[in-house]
Amino acid sequence: MPELPEVEITRRGLAAHLIGLAVADVVIRDPRLRWPIPENLPVLLRGQTIRALKRRGKYLLVEFDYGTLILHLGMSGSLRILPANTLPEKHDHFDLVLDNGTLVRLRDPRRFGAVLWHGGDVHAHPLLATLGPEPLPDKFGEDGFDARYLHQATRGRSIAIKQCIMDNHIVVGVGNI
């Protein structure tokens, strides 16, 4: 599974290519990911402009004027920026076709990834609402993650520290690696 630093690198790399562009089309080849891709996603996204690309834990958040596309890479997923006429391969499940002649393609051989939509405050989405604070330096302290927080969060627990800090309710994004 991509770890939090890889997801952040993916976010930074994609942001430079996506922000300010409009969605020309959405192609769903196989909606059967971890959770089904919403059938109405093409109608919701066509014509909308990407306003920001953010991250919460290991979720990528593509912000539009009227909602947020929530992406997760799962165990083996990747996002690629390609020319819009690039033919899909076997594990290419989802394309976000942009108005500049490129697309963002989700390739996920194991189909553990996610492509979801949330129309309101994305942080209220059930997958995001109970996540712990962010550990990365550019977010350090913003969500309350510091040595004092970690000390408090580990008190009264009898599990190994590795299991504790891998709990996304304690701190997001800490993986096995």
By residue count, the chain amounts to 177
Quick check: is 3 catalytic? yes
Quick check: is 2 catalytic? yes
The DSSP line for the chain is ---HHHHHHHHHHHHHHHTTPBEEEEEES---SSSPPPTTHHHHHTTPBP-EEEEETTEEEEEETTEEEEEE-TTT-EEEEEETTPPP-TTEEEEEEETTSEEEEEE-TT---EEEEESS-GGGSTTTTT-----SGGGTTTTS-SHHHHHHHHTT--S-HHHHHT-TTTSTT----
Active site residues: 2-3
